Amino acid sequence: MAYFSRISIAAACLALAASSIGRQSRKAYEEGLRLELSSQRESAIHAFSEAIKAAPDNWEAYAHRAALRIAINDLPHAIEDLDAVIRSRPDDAQAYRLRAEALRKANQPQRALADYDRAAALHLDTPALYNGRAATYAALDQPQKAIDDYTHGIRLRLDDPVPIKERADVYSSIGRYSAAVDDYDQSISLNPLFADAYLERGFAWGQLGDFPRAIADFNTVLKLNPASARAYSLRGAADLKLGKNEDAVTDFSHAIQLAPKDAYLLLARAAAYVKLGRNEDALRDRNQAVILRPDFPEGFIARGGSYHQLGMHEQGLQDRSEAIRLNPNLPEAWFARGSAYYLMGDFQRAYNDIQQAIALRPGYQEAIDVLRKTEARLQEQGVVKTELVKTEPAKPEHAPEVPVQAPPVPPVRALSADAHEKLGRQLTQERKYREAVAELTEAIRLKPASAPAFNARGYAYMLQHDFPHAVADFSEAIRLKPDYENAHKNLAVARKARHAN
């Protein structure tokens, strides 16, 4: 990206000729402009350096050299060059905009934002300013501000598909998939070969449940870029949703060839193998996933499932116990081990573990359903004779020592919804997340349209690494209050964490 537009380079030459810059610097500068126009970046940088050497106050040479250094990702030196320009010209809006771009690419979004704001205050009104600042807001998890700036930048230049696609990415990150699809459509209409737009539109179609359209987009991506592991993996996930399990295995296998160290791909293919009854193949993939990610509790949960399917119950229980050790706040881990105990006929241990899962996630319906079945079995054995959800489950004389916590029950007192919410927030600060969720759940029961209560409960879930429930609560908070900036920010963080796990 040049400091001046190509149209104005001739004017730049004339302006420099009229300046006090010496002949040697002027000659080197003009050579740099010629090389820049012909995309000979390294040679152009050398020419501008010669111009600066001959005349250290040649700010135009600094500016052009900075733009070229941004283009080749030499960001620290680009920032130094723009510092020099701004020292000479403290009201140069274009210099602030260009330095903001370098700072943004150098992962310094707060500094970048300050420079974008300064450029705007100096009345710069260009697509590059608004689209660059929009990307900075997106990096800072401020999606509505990002959308607003992209919208302004797009209006200033309607034929550029890139910012339209980037605005779509922001819509997708906050769950506004229909709006995202509309933008991806527009971006693709401007550039029918825009593979990334097809890829992300396919993802959005999948989130909307339209898997045939998602697959059509992934097919297009793979024609344009046959080495896209993400396109294969997403198409495999869509195949699974449509019951095309063999196709899913094929797609996940292609993705694994392209990204052999990705444990998530191995777990995805294992899930397809399970649907095909290929349990030994599933175990092989899950074992490899655990080797690649020994810190990943979901891998142990999955491998434990394969062990149980193959009748290797001791190994299965060991894996699910390891998942609990890795993350004792993961309700799926407790539910998985409890379900295994249930299938093995050890109903007391099953009861203890499943109750713990519900304690960590009140309203965990699948666990509640299995708990009811477990209670019925224990009652048949004459072990349990009280209500379904107990604060202290009964134990036989030789019951195993399994850590058991009762489901969180809000104290019985006449508190308002606001009081429950305040107490829930206080408990979250004290890291008593289980109790915090209970209080915030009661606040929501009393005041179901309270966006702050949903946001607060989502935050407590997120701190327990319960990202699916966190995403659901943040999304509900946004539905109730569309301009809820903190909920938008939390939702973006939770979505990223959910995908990472």
> Got the DSSP string for 410-421?
--SS---HHHHH
336 in a structural domain: no
Q: How far apart are CA 187 and CA 160, in angstroms?
A: 8
Q: Supply the pTM of this predicted model.
A: 0.71
pLDDT of residue 500: 60
Rounded Cα gap, residues 277 and 246, in angstroms: 11
Question: Reduced to 3 states, what is the DSSP secondary structure of residue 220?
Answer: helix
Tell me whether residue 456 is in a domain: yes
User: Model confidence at 407, in pLDDT bands (50, 70, 90)?
Assistant: very low
Going from the C-alpha of 250 to that of each of 13, 134, 233, 242, 244, the distances in angstroms are 59, 39, 10, 14, 10
* pLDDT tens, residue by residue, 109-140: 999 999 999 999 999 999 999 999 999 999 89
Look at residues 235, 260, 285 and tell me which one is the last residue of a structural domain.
Answer: 260
Q: pLDDT grade, residue 446 (50/70/90)? A: confident
pLDDT digits (tens, 9 = 90+) for 447-501: 888 889 999 998 988 888 888 888 888 888 888 888 788 888 888 888 877 666 5
Residue 402 confidence (pLDDT): 35
> Could you give the count of Cα atoms lying within 13 Å of 395 in the half-sphere of its Cβ?
13
Give which of 303, 402, 424, 302 is closest to 355, Cα–Cα: 402
Is position 172 within any domain?
A: yes
8 Å CB contact between 323 and 330: yes
For the beta carbon of residue 418, count every other beta carbon within 10 angstroms: 14
pLDDT > 90? residue 54 = yes
96-101: long-range pairs with CB below 8 Å, 24+: 96/122, 96/124, 97/124, 97/126, 97/128, 97/129, 97/132, 98/1, 98/3, 98/63, 98/66, 98/67, 98/70, 99/66, 100/132, 100/133, 100/136, 101/1, 101/70, 101/128, 101/132
From 227, 140, 153, select the one nearest 183 (Cα to Cα).
153
User: Rounded to an integer, what distance in angstroms lies between the CA atom of residue 148 and that of residue 125?
Assistant: 14
Specify if 25 maps to a domain. no
Distance of CA 257 to the CA centre of its chain: 24
Where is the domain boundary, 227, 260, 293? Answer: 260
Q: Given 202, 228, 260, which residue is the final one in a domain?
A: 260
The amino acid occupying position 83 is D
The predicted structure's pLDDT at residue 121: 97
Please, are residues 377 and 347 in contact by the beta-carbon 8 Å criterion? yes
- Which of 276-285, 348-357, 467-476 has the least mean pLDDT? 467-476
**Which positions ≥6 away from 19 have C-beta within 8 Å?**
none
Q: Burial of 11 by CB count in 10 Å (0-12 exposed, 13-18 middle, 19+ buried)? A: exposed
Going from the C-alpha of 378 to that of each of 103, 238, 344, 396, the distances in angstroms are 63, 41, 14, 10
Number of domains, the chain: 2
- Lowest mean pLDDT across 20-29, 222-231, 401-410: 401-410
Poorest-confidence range of 54-63, 340-349, 357-366, 410-419?
410-419
User: Do 460 and 428 touch, CB atoms closer than 8 A?
Assistant: yes
Rounded CA-CA distance 432/293 in Å is 29
Rounded percentage of the chain residues whose pLDDT exceeds 70? 88
Q: Are 392 and 409 in contact (CB under 8 A)?
A: no
How far apart (Å, rounded) are the C-alpha atoms in residues 489 and 501? Answer: 19
**Closest among 270, 294, 293 to 283, alpha carbons compared:** 270
- Whether residue 213 is contained in a domain is answered as yes
Query: CA-CA distance, 378 to 385, in Å (whole number)?
Result: 8
d(CA 47, CA 32) in angstroms, rounded, equals: 5
Q: Tell me: pLDDT of 5 over 80.
A: no
* CATH number of the domain encompassing residue 219: 1.25.40.10
Mean pLDDT score of the chain, rounded to an integer? Answer: 87
Q: In this structure, is residue 42 part of a structural domain?
A: no
Which pLDDT belongs to residue 445? 78
Range of the domain at 452: 425-500
Read off the pLDDT of residues 60-78 as tens digits, 9 standing for 90 and up.
999 999 999 999 999 999 9
Residues 6+ apart with CB under 8 A from 4: 11, 12, 64
Q: Is 434 part of a structural domain of the chain?
A: yes
**Would 181 be classed as within a structural domain?**
yes
pLDDT in tens, 214-265: 999 999 999 999 999 999 999 999 999 999 999 999 999 999 999 999 999 9
